[in-house]
Amino acid sequence: MHDKYKQHLERTIRWLIRSKQKNEGSSAHFNPITGWGKPYPETTGYIIPTLLDFSHRENYRPAKETANDFGEWLLSIQSDEGYWNGGLYPPQEKSPSVFNTGQILFGIIRMYKETGDDRWKKSAVKGARWLADHVDESGLWEIGHYTDFNPTYYTRVAWPMLLVANVTEKGFVKDKAVQVLDSLIERQNSNGTFRGWGFEKSQPAFTHTIAYTIRGFLEASFLLDDWSRYGAKVESALEKVYKLAELNNGRLAGAYDQEWGPTEYYSCLTGNVQLAICLMRWHEYNGDLQLLNAASKLIEYVNGTQFRNTPVKGLNGAVAGSKPLWGRYMMARYPNWAAKFHADALMLFLELSGKKQEEWSTAELS
């Protein structure tokens, strides 16, 4: 079975490499009729760590080279103020984006860690500084939103700010990130859900943004080495996700309302694997193997949707937005972020199951 996971992983990584546009970033998505879409700076940024992880894991040079190309392209399109524009590339107008800037920082800071080259560090500090400068006293951003509010999944902006702060010892950036997280954790309902964790303020949230929100809190807790601050607080949401994953054999609804009621008939595949990652990160905290079981069901559901050996290259290894393909989330498209999180989930599961085997073998020897 683990060999099957490796095969899926390889297919997904090859697709991500194929998503590279000439001299630019990763195409946002593939559509079977219109082909590859425009490059997407936001997701190109966070695809970089995925490619580098794979290149280390399998010693696969093309993954590393593609990550480097993506990084160089992102450096070339960073604004003088430090932010990156929102949306696809090229942008239609100047549009500083909090979320895109945060997501791109994942790639930039990782490039710095890989190479030690100061160009990456300077870029990361500039981006993180721009983010920190625009956090107001209430812990929210004044500008740079996708819609007209600060969504709760901005936890996923605070997380890369903490990553930058850890590497560069920028106390100001760290303080601002914590301020944002402290503000967003206040939005939690008693049943574990969060107000405003979807793309729209009062609408049900796709599992994609639910996972963004939870992951941001989890990773912040790990980086701050303080589980009680955020991690413990999202456990109720994770427990619900665990049960939903188990009771539905790995198939989550595409979106949930504030009462955990499923609101969509289709499944949002990227949300499935993103939540698998959240469960696995929780497992890393508490060691409960049952969480790995639920996570692997979520992964296996997505594995079952992946194409291979089709004549259309853009489909081989692609992960759709929705299952069925005509579901509302990224209808009829195969987004690069679905592939990114699929690869991340597979790599994390393989790593954790490998660790478990080592642990058992060591215990046996002792």
Partner 1 sequence: MEHRGVVITAGFDKSKIAIAIAKQLHRRNVPVNGFIVVSPYSWSRLSRYIKKRGISFFWKAIPRLLGFSSISKESKDYIKEFREEKKIAYKSIKNWASDHGAAYHSVSSINDRNVVQYLKEATPQWFIYSGGGIIRDNVINVMHGRILNAHQGPLPEVRGMNAAEWSILLGEEQEVTIHLIDQGIDTGDIITTKPFSIDADDTVNSIRAKAKVKGIEGLVEVASKNNLEDYELRPNNSNHRQCYILSSAMKALLHKKLQIIQRT
Q: Judged by CB, which is closer to partner 1: 263, or 357?
A: 357
Q: What's 204's DSSP letter? A: P
Q: What's 330's DSSP letter? A: T
Contact region with partner 1 (CB under 8 A), list: 91-99, 135-143, 223-231, 297-305 = 297-305
- From the list 91, 95, 85, 104, the residue with the least C-alpha distance to 42 is 104
* Residues contacting residue 67 through CB under 8 Å, at least 6 positions apart: 47, 48, 51, 52, 55, 107, 111
For residue 304, what are its two tokens? 């079952």
Is 149 a binding residue for partner 1 by CB under 8 A? The answer is no
Contact region with partner 1 (CB under 8 A), list: 39-47, 255-263, 315-323, 355-363 = 355-363
Q: Which of 297, 333, 340, 342 binds partner 1 (CB under 8 A)?
A: 297
Contact region with partner 1 (CB under 8 A), list: 19-27, 195-203, 239-247, 319-327 = 239-247
Is 247 a binding residue for partner 1 by CB under 8 A? The answer is yes
Q: Judge contact between 197 and 213, C-beta under 8 A.
A: yes
Is 1 a binding residue for partner 1 by CB under 8 A? The answer is yes
Is 242 a binding residue for partner 1 by CB under 8 A? The answer is yes
Q: Which of 65, 133, 246, 257 binds partner 1 (CB under 8 A)?
A: 246
Q: Judge contact between 49 and 42, C-beta under 8 A.
A: no
Is 265 a binding residue for partner 1 by CB under 8 A? The answer is no
- What CA dihedral angle connects 240, 219, 98 and 239, to 10 degrees? 0
Helix ranges, 193-230 (H)? 207-224
**DSSP H or E segment with residue 335:** strand 334-335
The phi, psi pair for 79, rounded to 5°, reads: -75, 160
Q: Which of 23, 138, 202, 357 binds partner 1 (CB under 8 A)?
A: 357
CB of 305 to partner 1, least distance (A): 13
Q: Judged by CB, which is closer to partner 1: 28, or 298?
A: 298
Is 232 a binding residue for partner 1 by CB under 8 A? The answer is no
* CA gap 215, 156 in Å, rounded: 7
Is 236 a binding residue for partner 1 by CB under 8 A? The answer is no
User: How far does Cα 52 stand from its chain's mean position?
Assistant: 15
* Residues contacting residue 228 through CB under 8 Å, at least 6 positions apart: none
Residue 248: helix, strand or coil by DSSP?
Answer: coil
Q: Judged by CB, which is closer to partner 1: 76, or 362?
A: 362
CB of 290 to partner 1, least distance (A): 5
* CA gap 20, 38 in Å, rounded: 10
Is 33 a binding residue for partner 1 by CB under 8 A? The answer is no
Contact region with partner 1 (CB under 8 A), list: 74-82, 112-120, 144-152, 289-297 = 289-297
Is 117 a binding residue for partner 1 by CB under 8 A? The answer is no
Is 290 a binding residue for partner 1 by CB under 8 A? The answer is yes
Site of interaction with partner 1 (CB under 8 A): 1-2, 4-5, 242, 246-250, 288-290, 292-294, 296-297, 299-300, 349, 353, 356-357, 360-361, 364
